[in-house]
Amino acid sequence: MSVQMTRMQAVELCTAIGFKTASKWNKDRMLRKLMQLPDMVEDDGLEIPEDVDGHDRLQQLLDDIHKSDGNITLTRNVEEVDASVADAKVDDVKEEPKKKMRAPSKASKSAKNAKVEDDVKEEESKKKSSEVESKKPKNVGKRSIRNRRYCAGIVLREHGLEEGITEEMIQEVDAMYGDSNMVASKSQLTDAWHAINGFVNG
């Protein structure tokens, strides 16, 4: 089963289950989070809190993601699609059949080259993300995800050591573990950071 959803739906879902900074994530990070949800539902019994607006709709979306086993596609928001279709119709009306072709300006060439570079970078980013996912052990999420220290290791793997310990990282460990205790999450995150830093840089 494959699940298609807009970025707006993804942000709403992730915010509802405790990822308060979801609106700031880029597409790759959002996909990585969404692909972790089936394991969190399977192992932790993750559900949408009853007091969340749109509970039934979001719970159904979470159930679909669980059944998809991580096969998720992010599409553009509906508003963006409608706007692009409207722009295309306006361009069709304004176009003249016998309009002379003009040589592209330097500015348009630069913009085109920049777009090509962005497309290449996006493809490379997708490739790296795919390689990381393929290297993940198949049974990692089903072994010890209830351990808060294990959740701290997952968060550090995604953020790296350079940021140190941030409030966002603590919140992610708390939400992933499913039992709110910011003090315990910060403690486990700090211990994990020192352990990994000593192993890598010691």
Question: Tell me: the pLDDT tens digits for 62-111?
Answer: 888 888 877 888 887 655 444 444 444 444 444 455 555 666 666 666 66
Q: Where are the domains of the chain?
A: 1-78, 142-202
Three-class SS of the chain: CCEEEEHHHHHHHHHHCCCCCHHHCCHHHHHHHHHHHHHHHHHHCCCCCCCCCCHHHHHHHHHHHHHHCCCEEEECCHHHHHHHHHHHHHHHHHCCCCCCCCCCCHHHHHHHHHHHHHHHHHHHHHHHHHHHHHHCCCCCCCCCCCCHHHHHHHHHHHHCCCCCCCHHHHHHHHHHHCCCCHHHHHHHHHHHHHHHHHHHHC
> Whole-prediction pTM value?
0.37
Confidence of residue 143 (pLDDT cuts 50, 70, 90): very low
